Amino acid sequence: MPALRVAEFRGAVRCRRPAHGPIGLELSGRTADAPGEELTLAFIATAPADLPETIEDAVVERSGEGEFRVHSATRTWVVAARAVHAHRDVGAAFYRAIPPRRAPLLRRLFLRTALSIAGSRAGLAVVRALRR
């Protein structure tokens, strides 16, 4: 089976070993295909003992059934994993496509009034009196 590219990172990639749960290794950093987008790969596996806390420009490939290779400029690590889960932060793209809706006029007026009251000594005294 030819190697199948799972992910490619640019820059520093954090290698984390969670203490609890089935996830044994998390790689997180910025992707190469969409610059600036965060990507986290969660492996259901035991992390290699010699994997450092950070690596540079990592490429993750699936080399066989249950086997993944993590390549950096200087080394390659083999991770025997049952599965890998990719998590991308798509918040920026979502909010570019769907802008937030403007708050209704009455809510804006209410909030402006409430903040004005809370911003003055007299207003705070009134709020304290109402809470008693």
Query: Is residue 66 located within the same domain as residue 124?
Result: no
Cα 10 to chain centroid distance, Å, stands at 15
pLDDT digits (tens, 9 = 90+) for 23-64: 889 999 998 887 778 899 999 988 888 889 999 999 999 988
- pLDDT value of residue 93: 78
| Residues 26 and 71 grouped into a single domain | yes
Cβ neighbours of 80 (radius 10 Å): 13
Q: Do 68 and 32 have their domain in common?
A: yes
- For residue 1, the model assigns a pLDDT of 60
Under 8 Å between Cβ of 112 and 32: no
- Domain containing 111 equals 101-131
pTM over 0.75: no
* Start-end of H helices in the chain: 91-97, 105-118, 121-131
Which tokens in the block code for residue 82? 């049952």
Same domain membership, residue 127 and residue 88: no
Domain match, 88 and 124 both: no
Crossing angle between the packed helical segments 105-118 and 121-131, to the nearest 10 degrees: 100
Report the domain count for the chain: 2
